Amino acid sequence: MPKEVIMPALGMAQETGTLLRWLKREGDAVEKGEPLMEIATDKVDVEIEAPASGVLTNVTAAEGEEIPVGRAIALILAPGEDLTPSPPSRLGEGSGVRASASPVAARMAAEYNIDLAQITPVGGRIQKEDVLAFLAQQENSTQSRTDRARVLASPKARRLAQEAGIDLASLAGSGPEGAILAADVTAARKAEETADGRPQTAEEVPMSRLWQVMAERLTQSWTTVPHFYLSREVDAGQLIAWRKQLQSRGGGNVTFTDLLVKLTAVALKRHPRLNASWQNGRIIANAAINIGLAVAVEDGLLVPVIHHSDQLGLFDLAAHRADLVGRTQNGKLSTADLQGGTFTISNLGMYGVDHFNAIVNPPQAAILAVGRIADRVVPVDGQPGVRPMLTLTLSCDHRVVDGARGAQFLSTLAELIENPLRTLD
């Protein structure tokens, strides 16, 4: 019996997934467990393995399509298994029966406003070649249809060309089989403006899917979460000394971020309300301490999670953090790496930032913004002195944390930073 290929759910709140690309084509032989397709959720891009061995067929989802979770998008036939195609006579012109079509054929038919029921496929399913053959048959009917059949272009390219008054037939397409893409029309428009000496008009900056998701989530957080902020300057002298001592032991490269993750985990253990979440109008106490790190990537921001941060030794934590950040920047994260966070740290000290306010990452209760360590003149035993100071800013969701609880947590963290060797468990 054929095995269905479905759009999987990779997260509890996931409702849809975007099919980025098929790694196998229809008609290809596949082995159970080998990569079959690449999909994108709102957090990460992942490869999905074939659920069975056989031949991939009945592909109904196109690359780039957003698909509801649980929907079947293809079938895998076992060796020797076959599907009985619909009788060709029922798929001819005027039959009124819509034939099954490949994604490419369906897109072409939609672009040229062709009813698939008018096309008689060579095989049991309408392919791109069937659509092209149908267009060729209509060549003598109207000149406009001939022009459309000759010039392959994406719908967006056609719209942009019409708005700019550009003849698509005059452009060389950079897409598959010479198809004209939106970028080709944009480049042609810029070339015309430059040649005419006209100033270039403002244009929309393309956004990645990751950036769109980030924008939507941060907007939702900013407009629905009642934020408040607590800041504190901390003497980082002992933190610097602690790091030097660890590095001298040759256990690996321990960063200030690693030390802060460890100390924050200790502080969260003492103040569990800061490790709680706001979910469906309730405060949920999280059993595990899973600290997320805000990491900037080319297309936006990701927050990989160091699970059970309080249970890791420093050198293990540092190695895990380095691996996570590396895979984040190389696009190699798994969905598990991004799930389960209970608290977030955002460190911009390496960019020379002194202090900033971060936006809470729902459903978490708080996020810690960390600035750079810089020498400042501060009171030392009643006299002015220069000390390496660090500014911490805690952003809290007031539905979960009040000012007193936030202040107590920040005070504990400050004490741990200023006396790490004496107070760390």
Q: How far is CA 6 from CA 65, 66, 304, in A?
A: 14, 13, 27
Backbone angles phi, psi at 393, to 5 degrees: -125, 120
Nearest partner of 231 among 414, 392, 399, judged by Cα: 392
Backbone angles phi, psi at 323, to 5 degrees: -65, -45
Q: Residue 297 half-sphere exposure, CB side, CA atoms within 13 Å?
A: 25
Nearest partner of 48 among 29, 28, 73, judged by Cα: 73
DSSP 29-98: EE-TTSEEEEEE-SS-EEEEE-SSSEEEE-----TT-EEETT-EEEEEEPTT----PPPGGGGSTT--PP
Kindly tell me the sign of the dihedral angle through the C-alpha atoms of 158, 160, 165, 167: negative
3-state secondary structure of 248: helix
3-state secondary structure of 170: helix
Q: At what angle do helices 128-137 and 143-150 cross, to 10 degrees?
A: 150
Amino acid letter at 347? N
Catalytic site residues?
A: 398, 402
Nearest partner of 70 among 8, 17, 4, judged by Cα: 8
Strands 72-77 and 366-380: unpaired
Count the neighbouring beta carbons within 10 Å of the beta carbon of residue 201: 8
The whole-angstrom separation of Cα 167 and Cα 192 is 12
